[in-house]
Chain A
Amino acid sequence: MSAANVSPPPRPPRPGVLGWLLDSLSSMKLTVVLLLFFGVLTFAGTLAQKDEGLFNVQRDYFESLFVIWNTQVPLPGNRTLMVPLPGGYTIMLLLFVNLVVGGVLRHRWHWRNAGILVTHLGIGLLLIAGFVKLHYSYAGHVALFEGKQTTTMASFHDYELALLRQDGDSIVERTVPGTFLERAARKPDVVTIDAPELPFVVQVSNWLENCRPQQKGPMFSTDMPLVTEGDGSYFLQDVPVQAERERNTAGCYVTVVERVGRKEYRGIVHGLDARPFTEERMPFTFEIDGATWGLDLRRVLWDLPFRVRLDKFEKTDHPGTMTPRDFSSWVTVFDGGTERKVHIYMNHPLRSRDHVFFQTNWGPQPGSSMRGPPWWSVFEVAKNPSDDWPKYASYVILLGLLVHFLAKLGRFLGSSTRRDSLPEMS
């Protein structure tokens, strides 16, 4: 065996607790264990999607520190086997540390390892992109009929309670995230929302994740509070929560209490979203000191930095079926006095001002109570600062692997092993 094929002796363990910690975090065994956990987590999350829905599984399995996996395996006593697993957040965090510490400490800083180090850098960038996306991005949707335009996008899943004040042609709005109210304002808890400059406080109670408003009649009995508005009494009727979170419509009770006089205005707000038919909202309205105020429970809204209009939607079905073969949209982007025509279709999103529009859906769908045309088109819109980072990370990984491969090839071609194995020329 030639000297070139002799493996370097294993690095001796570093002394002390810090050394043990560094050795552990840079260990290849840790990498393997983490990847195995990732495999199990992916398996468990995939199974759980059936009962818990995509959104909940993504949140509970892949964006969490840990998760208790209900395997549905029956146990005595009418129980099922529950398995604790590290969440995706924990695994990826440890994987990142393992990658960085391992790359820095385990690999020798030598030009021969340059490819490996660059590859590690690319994978690290990929993980950082995921971290940035999780914490600093948001996503929603835009749904438009042909000829209609919008400057807002709405969340698929999350609500916000908006306090609106009419101010001429403008609306002054303040919001509180529904994710907080969802936790804190469930019956019998009450959340008081306050701002010193306002002449009132707002109390939120009886939050229901999925509900429908009902008018109280003699044929109904309910243990929910009744609210009288106009000539009727209304209440929110609890409805079983759907696994697909976007199919739920939240609602809650609001009580506005004037600071002076303690006069109360009680109402219910319901987060029904009528897009694409209308973007108009009808808030629970009250007047204090001559000003008109409104409270609206709505899907979280984000303003787009441009206006987008759906010019045309096109769908092609497989012959003899109502199953679409492909569907795409032509839109016009109005941005600062300029117009841009864009064709959005599968894997060809619209990118503009850090926003990405993906063609995701359309309507009316077959089997629904409506038939097209006219059609409406639905775009998933993401605002993600790290949108392009995975692409760059892929380039870096490619570069690292290429360098590593070429270095290996060069060493092989120049090695004595190869020279020794070549047939002698006569």
Chain B
Amino acid sequence: MRTTPLFVLSLSLLLSGGCQRQTAAWSDPHTVSSEQRPTRFGAPARERLALPDLRGGASGAAATLQFVGQAPAAWKELPAQPSSFKDRLWRIGDDEATECYLTAGVGGGVAVNLNRWYGQFGAAPAAPESLPVVEFAGQPARLLELTGTYKGKPGSAMMLVFRAKGDVVTTLKFTGPEATVTAHRDDFLELAKALRASSASPMPSAPPIDRGQQMPSDHPPIGGGAGGAERDMSPPPSPFAADVPAGWTPVPGSQRVLHHSFGDGGEVYVSQLGGGLRAMLDIWRGEVGVGTASDAEFAAVGKVPMLGGEAALLDVAGDYHSMSGKQIAGARILVAALEQGGAITFAKLVGTAADVEAQRPAFLQFCASLRRQS
């Protein structure tokens, strides 16, 4: 048995900068086996801190959405800066004093952000209900307009449209000298109206656009700048990518990766968990009320290709009660789970038995196309 750690407290209190500095000493070194202390050095911060591998904590899959739509001709599109939460970025011509950017789905909630936005102009926040409603990416949103000193520059103005789902807020923010912003007010509102999530179409009456889908030859350029050049459509940083079958719709605001819905309340997503494969398979079996797998049942679990390995494919049916409280009567779930590197990566599809039966081939293709992104 390891002895109680011995630490030595210094009695020297070094007062520096108003804080107290004490010293301590490590206990004597103690060697244990890796089996006793299963340790993964060098894990990425998000994983280490158990944060969703998506931006903004609660940002969810909304952050993986692409927004398409053309800005007015006088506006110049700049390369996106996803690490700065600028998923699309413009300025007015070459005027570096102006900036307009789209932030697609990050957490924080409306109240906190309203405080922050008003605070940037030294103003007291107003209730969001008092703000006018405008159209933003095909949905109603609120418009906030402020003038004053912004980032130390007097005579500035800001136009900002925002919409929220839960704590996830999507914004389009336009700042610059007040005269310039005022002059381009209508352009800004037109841009807000023209934007669409990539699952939708710039034309509201058109069918949804699937990722990777070829546009008709006469289709206007998507996401181009003033010159209409095709812009980089690669998704923001995400641990996985896959070829998403037609008919699956991204779930905005979800914390899950590649989270899509289909059919009558069905959903599919990719995730990772710790633990043993068999225990996890039993947990998923438990979600449809099927008991623990016997040795024979476990041995009989099918295999499908995924992420360069052979993933176990669980296919069970019953009344579904998910960990998040979702319930589907007469459900069926498909889970492709791969134990790799001490973690289980899995793709899970759940829905009514009929929907799942119809989606099974698409799901297997989806699993086969799943790949990691750096």
Binding site for B on A (CB under 8 A): 145-148, 151-152, 160, 163-164, 166-167, 169-177, 180-181, 184, 188-195, 198, 213-215, 217-221, 229-232, 234, 267-268, 270, 272, 274, 277-285, 292, 294, 296, 301-303, 305, 369-374, 383
Is there an interface contact between A374 and B282, defined as CB atoms closer than 8 Å? yes
Is there an interface contact between A147 and B57, defined as CB atoms closer than 8 Å? no
Q: Secondary structure at chain A's binding surface: helix, strand, loop or mixed?
A: strand
Is there an interface contact between A231 and B83, defined as CB atoms closer than 8 Å? yes
> Given the known A-B contacts A371-B286, A374-B283, are A219 and B40 also in contact in the complex, defined by CB atoms under 8 Å?
no
Is there an interface contact between B1 and A188, defined as CB atoms closer than 8 Å? no
Shortest CB distance A166–B (Å): 6
> Given the known A-B contacts A193-B25, A194-B25, are A217 and B31 also in contact in the complex, defined by CB atoms under 8 Å?
no
Other-chain contact of B20, A189, A231, A278 (Cβ < 8 Å): A189
Least CB separation from A184: chain B residue: B22
Other-chain contact of A171, B2, B37, B51 (Cβ < 8 Å): B37
Q: Does B278 contact A (CB under 8 A)?
A: yes
The answer for the CA separation of A192 and B8 in the assembled complex, in Å, is: 11
The answer for the CA separation of A97 and B287 in the assembled complex, in Å, is: 60
Other-chain contact of B106, A166, A177, A219, A282 (Cβ < 8 Å): A219
The answer for the CA separation of A310 and B324 in the assembled complex, in Å, is: 27
Shortest CB distance A156–B (Å): 17
Q: Does B42 contact A (CB under 8 A)?
A: yes
Is there an interface contact between B46 and A284, defined as CB atoms closer than 8 Å? no
Q: Does B47 contact A (CB under 8 A)?
A: yes
Binding site for A on B (CB under 8 A): 1-2, 5, 7, 9, 17-51, 55-57, 59, 83-85, 103, 106-109, 112-113, 116, 169, 237, 273-276, 278-279, 282-283, 286-287, 291-292, 321-325, 342
The answer for the CA separation of A274 and B35 in the assembled complex, in Å, is: 17
Q: Which 5 A-B pairs have the closest CB atoms?
A: A219-B108, A278-B274, A174-B26, A229-B45, A188-B19
The answer for the CA separation of A335 and B42 in the assembled complex, in Å, is: 34
Least CB separation from B275: chain A residue: A277
Is there an interface contact between A294 and B49, defined as CB atoms closer than 8 Å? no
22 A-B pairs with C-beta separation under 8 A: A147-B276, A148-B279, A164-B39, A169-B33, A170-B33, A171-B36, A174-B26, A184-B20, A188-B19, A191-B22, A191-B23, A213-B50, A219-B116, A232-B46, A267-B45, A277-B274, A283-B48, A285-B43, A302-B1, A303-B2, A369-B323, A373-B282
Is there an interface contact between B169 and A191, defined as CB atoms closer than 8 Å? no
Contacting residues, chain A, for B325 (C-beta < 8 A)? 369
Shortest CB distance A45–B (Å): 27
Is there an interface contact between A294 and B41, defined as CB atoms closer than 8 Å? yes
Contacting residues, chain A, for B2 (C-beta < 8 A)? 302-303
Is there an interface contact between B26 and A193, defined as CB atoms closer than 8 Å? yes
Other-chain contact of B279, A145, A152, A167, A279 (Cβ < 8 Å): A145
Least CB separation from B110: chain A residue: A219
Contacting residues, chain B, for A285 (C-beta < 8 A)? 41-43
> Given the known A-B contacts A170-B31, A303-B36, A369-B323, are A219 and B107 also in contact in the complex, defined by CB atoms under 8 Å?
yes
Is there an interface contact between A180 and B106, defined as CB atoms closer than 8 Å? no
Is there an interface contact between A230 and B44, defined as CB atoms closer than 8 Å? yes
Other-chain contact of A281, B39, B46, B109, B237 (Cβ < 8 Å): B39
Is there an interface contact between A170 and B283, defined as CB atoms closer than 8 Å? no
Most buried by B among A163, A191, A219: A219
Contacting residues, chain B, for A184 (C-beta < 8 A)? 20, 22, 24
Other-chain contact of B29, A172, A220, A277, A373 (Cβ < 8 Å): A172
Is there an interface contact between B45 and A234, defined as CB atoms closer than 8 Å? yes
Is there an interface contact between A217 and B286, defined as CB atoms closer than 8 Å? no
Is there an interface contact between A373 and B24, defined as CB atoms closer than 8 Å? no
Shortest CB distance A299–B (Å): 13
Contacting residues, chain A, for B56 (C-beta < 8 A)? 215, 217, 219-220
Contacting residues, chain B, for A369 (C-beta < 8 A)? 322-325
Contacting residues, chain B, for A219 (C-beta < 8 A)? 56, 106-109, 112-113, 116, 169
Other-chain contact of A176, B5, B57, B273, B279 (Cβ < 8 Å): B5
Is there an interface contact between A195 and B26, defined as CB atoms closer than 8 Å? yes
Least CB separation from B103: chain A residue: A218
Other-chain contact of B292, A167, A218, A281, A374 (Cβ < 8 Å): A374
> Given the known A-B contacts A217-B56, A217-B57, A231-B237, are A372 and B23 also in contact in the complex, defined by CB atoms under 8 Å?
no
The answer for the CA separation of A294 and B43 in the assembled complex, in Å, is: 11
> Given the known A-B contacts A282-B43, A282-B47, are A171 and B32 also in contact in the complex, defined by CB atoms under 8 Å?
yes
Is there an interface contact between B34 and A234, defined as CB atoms closer than 8 Å? no
Contacting residues, chain B, for A373 (C-beta < 8 A)? 282, 286, 291-292
Shortest CB distance B284–A (Å): 10
Shortest CB distance B175–A (Å): 13
> Given the known A-B contacts A147-B278, A280-B342, A370-B323, are A217 and B116 also in contact in the complex, defined by CB atoms under 8 Å?
no
Shortest CB distance B228–A (Å): 29
Is there an interface contact between B47 and A370, defined as CB atoms closer than 8 Å? no
Is there an interface contact between A192 and B275, defined as CB atoms closer than 8 Å? no
Contacting residues, chain B, for A231 (C-beta < 8 A)? 83, 237
The answer for the CA separation of A229 and B49 in the assembled complex, in Å, is: 11
The answer for the CA separation of A174 and B32 in the assembled complex, in Å, is: 11
Other-chain contact of A180, B24, B34, B85, B112 (Cβ < 8 Å): B24
Contacting residues, chain A, for B49 (C-beta < 8 A)? 213, 234, 268, 270
